[in-house]
Amino acid sequence: ADPLISGFVGAAAKPRILESLVFGVQEKGRGSIVYLVDNPLYRGFWENGLFLFSNAVFMVGNE
**Confidence at residue 28, expressed as pLDDT on a 0 to 100 scale:** 93
Query: Is residue 63 one of the residues assigned to a domain?
Result: no
Instruction: Find the domain containing 23 and state its range.
Output: 3-58
Residues 6 or more apart in contact with residue 31 via CB below 8 angstroms: 61
Q: How many domains does the chain have?
A: 1
Cα–Cα distances in angstroms (integers) from residue 14 to residues 7, 26, 39, 40, 53, in the given order: 11, 25, 21, 22, 26
Taking the model in full, what pTM does it have?
Answer: 0.61
Query: Is residue 44 one of the residues assigned to a domain?
Result: yes
d(CA 58, CA 56): 6
Cα–Cα distances in angstroms (integers) from residue 2 to residues 9, 10, 32, in the given order: 9, 11, 32
pLDDT tens per residue, range 4-62: 566 677 778 778 877 788 889 999 999 999 998 888 888 777 788 888 888 888 888 87
